[in-house]
Structure 1
């Protein structure tokens, strides 16, 4: 969204000021930003609280990490999709190295934001659990003074304990299966995403004047697929692996 100069400055300070900039590069706006012509050059930078685009002596834009739903590189351009009116914003970045760095930084910020949100949800869950336990204690005190309903209360309590035990056993079993699957994939040499453990991956080789994308979907690292992923460790060929399931990217 577009901000006035003072608001832009405040949000930038919230992100840590100049020292809080994670990565910065010059970029050309091609599409998506309101009231900004295609071809306008500005400073595109990432901070802990979001993505900033600053046009010298011109418009200022900020996108909070939480509203970014997707980011990708298409035809050598950075494409950012948001949940707001802007929809999709496209930037052209001259240097491929800078393009990859800012893409990876946005992905990293999105992952961190997701982890923080999950932590908040867990905290809310713990609070609800404590409130429930407190209500049960108060309820038991009331029931203790009414012997006629004691049997009924014990029966309901037993059902709750049984349900909780079944749930925990199921979660433990799922966790064990997941660990066994990971061990088996490593044993067979199957490539998988370190974040979601998905096996639908794509690898892009970055040569001096050539970029070739090839997909590896749950394949064993042998033959052509193995040769592709083998390029990750080559000093002559640089590339990245991206998970087609969750969008996470990394260098091998």
Structure 2
């Protein structure tokens, strides 16, 4: 398998950047395999694998583009030319989007370093408590025997990403509210067995809401509309 499981996981998290990186990796390997006698079997195999991987990522993430996946023929030369063209067109299509995402990521990293920039800031006590709760949520997910393995791995990766980007000052709270959505899915799948996870997610959400409300200068007693304040429940 040309693409490692670690790389595949990174593509799941950021498919557009991953598509461009997959094209670059394929082209780099193609240059290493290049011979002076035309297309060879190794290049043929590699191009089919890279192109098929790209097509799967595009379909899975519904990134529909006006580039047609090439049909197989009985000629290696024809296949390789068509596949190479497909890989490069896909790269060209997504490269601009990938660069913009990287720029946004860099801006996000540095934005919170500037005190003048808008940011949400946790108290030290709240920050430490969120760290502890995330660790507890991770432990409960690992120990749960009723979640499908794929779902469990997705949740653990999201927790890892959240914890990796967690600082006292953050430019947005999107990942936290995404975790609330994840908790809803777990609750739907596990019912009462999800309670240890959901309870901790609720506590994280309350801390996040308190921080957001304070930053946005809402009244101190403003209820959290996301969890636990629905009068119909």
Report the TM-score range of the alignment, normalised by the length of the smaller protein: under 0.3
Q: TM-score with structure 2 length normalisation? A: 0.24
Q: Which of the two has higher C-alpha Rg? A: 1
More strand per residue: 1 or 2? 1
Q: TM-score with structure 1 length normalisation? A: 0.23
